[in-house]
Amino acid sequence: GEDVEQSLFLSVREGDSSVINCTYTDSSSTYLYWYKQEPGAGLQLLTYIFSNMDMKQDQRLTVLLNKKDKHLSLRIADTQTGDSAIYFCALGGPTDSWGKLQFGAGTQVVVTP
Amino acid sequence: DVKVTQSSRYLVKRTGEKVFLECVQDMDHENMFWYRQDPGLGLRLIYFSYDVKMKEKGDIPEGYSVSREKKERFSLILESASTNQTSMYLCASSSPWGYTFGSGTRLTVV
């Protein structure tokens, strides 16, 4: 989606933290998601945050939401080679939007030893 | 766990063929979706369905149709396959907590 933007590529060294960023234009989103896609596979839901939250932490994952700047980020602590994948942010609208999500183009994360 | 199963991982079809991509979910979700994924373009919504026999066009419906005769099954149909429909096709069903995706079908039209 043209209304959800992500950088296309991120390289990170094993053990470092990764930060994947996402900006969006539609402020009516109620749920904001991060998905992970490993090579040759479908998308796997990693985590989500409600629009009334600023932060959510789940083990190595931290999601930050800045509603004023319409900015969503995913931080992966102690990045491992298994974290190499494409990461998509996605925005879900109000309940009358039939559950449709707007996806970003995805960020390819490459973890180097 | 919710499962979304796509019947084929890889398909090769000839130009002009009618192609059926099948998707089945086992969690009684009402909403189901078909996306295509192309490098640099992310996921683009083709069609979605919010109930049996109900369908809505997504962002790129041209050249495609869908069928939902049973709640658990959502089929994508390429009426006359063309080379520009070579892509990865992803099916999903949804709950308020997000989508569950199938593993995808990589379709090549030659």
Q: Is the pLDDT of residue A97 over 60?
A: no
Task: Summarize pLDDT for A54-94 with one digit per residue, the tens.
Answer: 999 999 999 999 999 999 999 999 999 999 999 999 998 66
Question: Whole-angstrom distance between the N-terminal and C-terminal Cα of chain A?
Answer: 32
Task: Summarize pLDDT for B4-40 with one digit per residue, the tens.
Answer: 999 899 999 999 999 999 999 998 888 999 999 998 7
Q: Is the pLDDT of residue B81 over 70?
A: yes
User: Of A33, A44, A103, which is closest to B42 when you measure between CB atoms?
Assistant: A103
Distinct helix (H) and strand (E) counts, chain B: 0, 12
Q: Residue B71 and residue B25: Cα distance in Å, rounded?
A: 9
Residue of A nearest to B56 (CA): A98
Q: Is the pLDDT of residue B88 over 60?
A: yes
Does any CB of chain B come closer than 8 Å to the CB of residue A93? no
> What are the respective helix, strand and coil percentages of chain B, to the nearest 5?
5, 60, 35
Residue A95 is predicted with a pLDDT of 54
Q: Is the pLDDT of residue A2 over 60?
A: no
How many residue contacts between A and B have a Cβ separation below 8 Å?
61
Burial readout B38-57 (b: 16 or more C-beta within 10 A, e: otherwise): eeeebbbbbbbbbeeeebee
- Tell me if A100 and B48 make a contact (CB, 8 A cut-off): yes
Residue B94 is predicted with a pLDDT of 86
- Tell me if B101 and A103 make a contact (CB, 8 A cut-off): no
- Tell me if B97 and A8 make a contact (CB, 8 A cut-off): no
Q: Is the pLDDT of residue B97 over 80?
A: no
- Tell me if A88 and B48 make a contact (CB, 8 A cut-off): no
- Tell me if B41 and A33 make a contact (CB, 8 A cut-off): no
Residue of B nearest to A105 (CA): B42
Residue of B nearest to A106 (CA): B42
Per the prediction, chain B carries an average pLDDT of: 93
Judging contacts by C-beta atoms under 8 Å, the chain B residues touching residue A105 are 40-42
Let me know: does B70 contact B52? Beta carbons within 8 Å. Answer: yes
Q: Residue B107 and residue B110: Cα distance in Å, rounded?
A: 10
Does any CB of chain B come closer than 8 Å to the CB of residue A2? no
DSSP, collapsed to helix, strand or coil, labels residue B17 as: coil
Residue A1 is predicted with a pLDDT of 42
Task: Summarize pLDDT for A17-50 with one digit per residue, the tens.
Answer: 999 999 998 878 788 999 999 988 889 999 999 9
Q: Residue B13 and residue A13: Cα distance in Å, rounded?
A: 41
Residue A98 is predicted with a pLDDT of 60
Does any CB of chain B come closer than 8 Å to the CB of residue A77? no
Does any CB of chain B come closer than 8 Å to the CB of residue A41? yes
